Amino acid sequence: APDAELVVGKVLDDDGFGQESWILAGMEWAAENASVVNMSLGGDATDGTDPMSLALNELTESTGALFVVAAGNMGADETVGSPGSADAALTVGAVAKDDELADFSSRGPRLGDGAVKPDVTAPGADIVAPMAEGTALGTPVDERYVTLSGTSMATPHVAGAAALLAQQHQDWDADELKAALIGSAQAHRTLSVFEQGAGRIDVPKALTQSLLASPASLSLGIVEWPRTDDEPVQETITYTNVSDTAVTVDLRATLSGPDGAAPEGMITVEPSRLTVPAGESAEATVTVDTRVGGPDGRYGGVVTATADGTTVTTPVGIEQEVESYRLDLTVIDHDGTVATNPYVMLAGHAKPWSEGGYHETGEISLRLPKDDYFLAVEINDDYTVPGSTSFFEPRISLDSDRSLVLDARDAVPVDVVLDEPDAEIGYAELDVTLRTEGHPYIGWFAGDSSLEDTYVRPSETRHDGFAFSLRTEHARPDGDGGFDGSPFTYHLRHSATIAVPDDLTYEVTTAELAKVTSVHTDGGPGVVGSRELVTGELPFTLTEYYTPGVRWNSMLWLGDSPEAAGEFSLSHVATFEPGDNGELRWNTPVFGPAFPPGSLWAVRDDDSLLVSLPLYGHSLSGGGGFSITDSGFTELYRDGERLAREEEPGYGIFDVPAEPGQYRLVVESERGSLTPLSRTIRAEWTFRSGPSEAEVDLPLLAVQFAPELGDDHAGEVGEAVRIPIAVHRNGLTGKPDLASLSVEVSFDGGESWSTTPVTDGAVVVTAPDGAEDVSLRAVAKDADGNEVTQTILGAYLVT
C-alpha cells in the first residue's frame, strides 16, 4: 500500500539464499518503507565485506532502517552468515525457553576479523505460531498451530522489540535502536560474547533505556603473532543521555580468555566514573593491553556502565593470535593466466577445523595457525577448457610463511576407457578423503554426468590417511540424453591412497569385473523402476558389471510413472567376487523392517536417540526400503513411561535421560491405499540404552521373510509355501546370537493368528480356501535381551 506507514518490513527467502538480485531488491524496498527490516535468511559465513553485507551497510546509512538478521543455524564457531555478518546488522542468535543457547544457533566471532557476532539473542527454539494457510512448514501442534526452531524464529522477537522502540522514539535511526537493544540485553553468565553478543533482549528495559552507547559493541580485531611489538589497543565509547536528567555512571570492564579471567590490567576503562548531562554525550576510553601476557586465543567481555536504575552493557572482543603464518597461493588457468573465481578449501590436521570459499582472483593470501593442512582447489574453465580442474594436496606444512603455485597446465585428464563400445559414462564422482589423528574426517566430493574435460593435478605431497576415489556408472545411451532400455550397466570404482596418482586414465575390461544378473520384478509396488542410470517398465532385467571387492550400495526407485519413481525405494548392499555372481531379484515380497549394513538407522548420540528406519526392505538379502505412507507414528517409552510421540512412522529425534534405562520403541505404518502388500507394519523393540561418548547403534532386531514364490509372486490356496527367515541386528554385520524366535500366521488380515513352527531357519505356510493374503508376525529375542515383536499385514498375496 503506497500510502501505508510501515514499521516493520520482512525479507524472507524460502529456498535458503536464493537469487541475490531479488533479495537485494527486497532489502531496498523494505529499507525505504520501514523503520525495521526483519531478514529470516542467511548465506555463507563471511567477514562482512561480501556484496550482501555491504549492501546492508549502505542501505542502513542511506535510509536509517535497522536490519534485524538471523545469525544462522550452523551451531558452530565462526558460522554467522551473510548478511548477518554486516557491521550495521543487528544479528540475532537463538536461545531456548530457559535462556540456554540453542544447539543450532550460529556462533561468532565473525569469520576473518574476530568481530563480536551475533549481537543479541532471543527465543528461537520450539516456537509455536499460527499455521499459515496452504503451508507445511514446522511440526503441527494441532490443526491451527505449528512449532519450529531456528534463528529465523528469534529475529521476529527482536524486530518486534525494535518496532516498539521505533514507535516510542520516532526520531531514532538504526544506530540508536541497535544501541538500546544491545545495551539493555541480559547476558547469560556462562556464555561468551561470541555466543550471545550482549545476551537475550529485554523489551521492558529497552523501552526505558535512557543511556545509549556508541559503538554498541567493541570489536578490537586480531593482534598478530608473535606480538613482539604490541601496542595497547584503544577504543572510545560515547554515551548519549536521551533523558532530561543528568546521569552519573560507574564504569567497569571485564575480560575472559581461553583459561578464564584475563590477566590483571589487560583491560581498563577511563574514567571509572562518568557524568553525562541531559540531552548530551560524554566519552570513555577502553584500553586492551596484550603485553601483560595471557594465553593466545580469543578474549571476550563487557564494559558496564551502572547507575541507579540504569545499566548499559557493551560487548568487547579481541584475539591474541596463536602462532600463525601466511600462505600465498597462486592459481594458474590452462591458458597460463591467473585463474578467476577459484574455490579454495583448507582443513587443519590437528583439530576438526576447515573453511572454504570462492575468491575473485587466483592470487590469494591467507593467514593460518601453524599446522599441517589438507588443501583442495577447484577452477571451472568455462572460457578456456570446458569442465573443471582440481588440485588436492594431502599435507601442506605451515611452520613458516609459504608460497605455492597451482598450475592447471600440470593437471592430467580423468577418464575411464571400457572395452564395451556401446557404453558411455552417465555419472561420475570424485571422492577425496583424509583422516588424521586430530581430524577424524576431511572430505571433498564432486559429481557430474560425465568426465568430459575433467582434470586433476597429481599431488606433490603425501599422507598415509589420504584416499582418492573415482566412481563411474556406464550404460548404452538411448539417443534422448538418457540410458533407458540399456541391457547392461557398469559400476566401476578406482581408488588410490597416500596421494593423487600421476595417471588418471583407467582402462577396464569386462572380463576382470563381477557379473550380476539383476531381475527387477513387478512383485511389489510400482509400475516403473529406475536403477542408477536405467529406467524401465517392470519387469525388466539388467546385466550388471561391478568392480569386485568393493562394497556397493545399489538403489531401485519405484513409482506408478517415470515422474513418480521415488514413491518407493529399495536398496541392496553387497560385495561381489570376480566372475559370475548369479541372479538378484528385486522388488519381491515380503516388505518389512531391515537394517542393511553401513548406515546409521538408529543410534544414540549423547543424550539423544535418532531413528530413521527402513520399514519396507524387500526379501533380497541385504535389502532395505522406504515407502510413502498413509499414516503412522513413532513412540518412545522409557521404563514404561512414554517420553515422546512423532506423527511419522519410523522417524524421530528423542531427548533421553543420561542414566541407563529400559526402552521400548513402537512404530506403526499404514499404506493400504497405495498397495495391499505390507499395508500395515507394526513393530515394537525393547532394549537397554545408557550414556555414550560417541554414536552407538541401538540394538534393534529385524526379521526378514523370503517366501519361495513363483513368477506371479503370490501363493496359491492349498499350496505349501516355504518361507526362509533371517534375523538381523542394527549395526551388526554378522548374525545375532538368538535366544528365541517364534512365528505366527494369519489368513484373515490379522483377526486371528496361529503359531507355525520354525524348522531349519524357515516356516511352511499353506493358505486355506477364502484367503486373499498371508500376514506374518514374529517375536525374536537375542542373547543380550533385545527383543522385537514385528507384525506385517498383507505379507504376500494368495490366488
Mean model confidence pLDDT for the chain: 92
Contact 751, 792 (CB under 8 A): no
Query: pLDDT-based confidence at 384, cuts 50/70/90?
Result: very low
Give tens-digit pLDDT for 171-207. 999 999 999 999 999 999 999 999 999 999 999 999 9
Give the start-to-end residue ranges of the domains of the chain: 8-209, 219-320, 339-512, 602-798
Q: Which of 466, 385, 473, 481 is nearest to 433 (CA)?
A: 466
CA distance linking residue 113 with residue 646, whole number of Å: 43
pLDDT above 90 (res 437): no
Residue 5: the pLDDT is 56
pLDDT above 50 (res 1): no
Cα dihedral 708, 714, 715, 716 sign: negative
Cα maximum dimension of the chain = 100
Residue 383: the pLDDT is 40
pLDDT above 60 (res 370): yes
Residue for grid cell 535512557: 210
Proportion of the chain above pLDDT 90, given as a percent: 81
Measured CA angle at 794 (ends 789, 798), to 5 deg: 135
Give tens-digit pLDDT for 567-600. 899 999 999 999 999 999 999 999 999 998 878 8
User: How many other CB atoms are found less than 10 A from the CB of residue 4?
Assistant: 8
CA distance linking residue 402 with residue 413, whole number of Å: 28
Question: Phi-psi region for residue 221, left (φ > 0), alpha (ψ -120 to 50) or beta?
Answer: left
Q: What is the mean pLDDT of residues 692-710?
A: 92
CA distance linking residue 667 with residue 322, whole number of Å: 51
Contact 772, 799 (CB under 8 A): no
Residue for grid cell 557491521: 87
- Report the CATH number of the 219-320 domain: 2.60.40.2310
Give tens-digit pLDDT for 295-353. 999 999 999 999 987 899 999 999 999 999 999 999 999 999 999 999 999 999 998 77
- Strand-pairing partners, residue 253, are 303
pLDDT above 50 (res 259): yes
CA distance linking residue 504 with residue 487, whole number of Å: 28
Residue 190: the pLDDT is 94
pLDDT above 50 (res 664): yes
Contact 284, 82 (CB under 8 A): no
Among 584-593, 686-695, 780-789, where is mean pLDDT lowest? 686-695
Residue 6: the pLDDT is 61
- Strand-pairing partners, residue 243, are none
Q: End-to-end distance of the chain based on CA atoms, in angstroms?
A: 67
CA distance linking residue 374 with residue 461, whole number of Å: 10
Q: Which of 165, 250, 251, 154 is nearest to 205 (CA)?
A: 165
Strand-strand pairing, 661-670 and 424-434: unpaired
pLDDT above 90 (res 691): no
pLDDT above 70 (res 442): yes
**What values do phi and psi take at 780, rounded to 5?**
-125, 140
pLDDT above 60 (res 512): yes
Q: Cα dist. 513→419, 548, 553 in Å?
A: 12, 6, 17
CA distance linking residue 578 with residue 490, whole number of Å: 14
Contact 550, 513 (CB under 8 A): no
Residue type, 452: E
Question: Could you tell me the fold of the domain covering 8-209?
Answer: Rossmann fold (3.40.50)
Q: Which of 604, 597, 781 is nearest to 686 (CA)?
A: 781
**What values do phi and psi take at 668, rounded to 5?**
-135, 135
Q: What is the mean pLDDT of residues 53-72?
A: 95
Q: Do you find a cis peptide bond into 315, omega within 30 degrees of 0?
A: no
Residue 15: the pLDDT is 47
DSSP 787: E
Contact 362, 343 (CB under 8 A): no
pLDDT above 80 (res 20): no
- Strand-pairing partners, residue 316, are 218, 301
Cα dihedral 628, 725, 695, 347 sign: negative
Give tens-digit pLDDT for 341-363. 999 999 999 987 788 888 989 99
Q: Cα dist. 421→228, 254, 450 in Å?
A: 68, 74, 16
Give tens-digit pLDDT for 737-777. 999 999 999 999 999 999 999 999 999 999 999 999 999 99
Cα-Cα-Cα-Cα torsion 78, 80, 86, 87, nearest 10 degrees, comes to -60
pTM of the model: 0.80
Residue 11: the pLDDT is 66
Cα dihedral 255, 256, 257, 260 sign: positive
The three grid cell numbers given for residue 143, joined into one nine-digit string:
490443526
Identify the residue with better confidence: 410 or 563: 410
Residue 381: the pLDDT is 58
Q: What is the mean pLDDT of residues 517-545?
A: 94
